[in-house]
């Protein structure tokens, strides 16, 4: 008996070619947002930045999938800051008002220069709206976010 995998049943990316409906909190928003969901990890957004005097939200991107879907979230991101850790928190919602907060750090890294990393969310979630919150664990001058690819593989 063959086990079915995402590859076997088809790999449908619910984020493919979507642009975020909300981009906020950054001092400088990332540019080229279409590159984030173009199914090409060699392209990337521009760098979004925010100077942080303490820990908090550097920036957020919110996507609307059109309807609730079961998905596995992943991607390739680049987070860095002069000091402290940078984190990715993934929140989900069905109404874009009430969000279920993901683990405090779905992904966490301490690095002072650009070096993109592949990420994978550790479990399946159901959502219509997905909010990617990029946070700083402390002072960051600036906290920098560059996104090569975000995916929400539909199950």
Interval 57-99: pLDDT, tens: 999 999 999 999 999 998 999 999 988 889 999 999 999 999 9
Interval 11-63: pLDDT, tens: 799 999 999 999 999 999 999 999 999 999 999 999 999 998 888 999 999 99
Looking at the chain, which runs of residues are DSSP E strands? Answer: 12-13, 22-24, 48-52, 56-80, 86-93, 107-109, 117-120, 125-136, 140-154
pLDDT at 131: 94
Backbone phi and psi for residue 37, each to the nearest 5 degrees, phi listed first = -125, 25
Average of per-residue pLDDT across 108-127? 85
Average of per-residue pLDDT across 137-154? 89
Q: Is the predicted pLDDT of residue 5 greater than 50, yes or no?
A: no
Q: Is the predicted pLDDT of residue 4 greater than 60, yes or no?
A: no
Task: Supply the pTM of this predicted model.
Answer: 0.88
pLDDT band for position 2 (cuts 50, 70, 90): very low
Contact 131, 99 (CB under 8 A): yes
Please state which CATH number belongs to domain 12-154.
Answer: 2.60.120.260
């Amino acid at each position: 008996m063959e086990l079915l995998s995402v590859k076997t049943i088809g790999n449908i990316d619910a984020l493919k070619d979507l642009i975020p409906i909300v981009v906020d909190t950054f001092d400088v928003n990332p540019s080229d947002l279409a590159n984030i969901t173009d199914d090409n990890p060699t392209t990337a957004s521009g760098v979004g930045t925010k100077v942080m005097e303490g820990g908090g939200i550097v920036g957020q991107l919110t996507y609307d999938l059109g309807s609730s879907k079961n998905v596995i979230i992943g991607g390739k991101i680049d987070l860095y800051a002069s000091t402290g850790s940078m984190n990715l928190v993934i929140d989900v919602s069905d109404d874009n008002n009430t969000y279920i907060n993901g683990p405090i750090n779905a992904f966490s890294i301490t690095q002072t220069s650009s070096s993109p990393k592949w990420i994978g969310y550790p479990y399946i979630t159901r959502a219509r709206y997905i909010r990617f919150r990029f946070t700083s664990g402390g002072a960051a001058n600036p906290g920098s976010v560059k996104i090569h690819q975000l995916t929400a593989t539909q199950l």
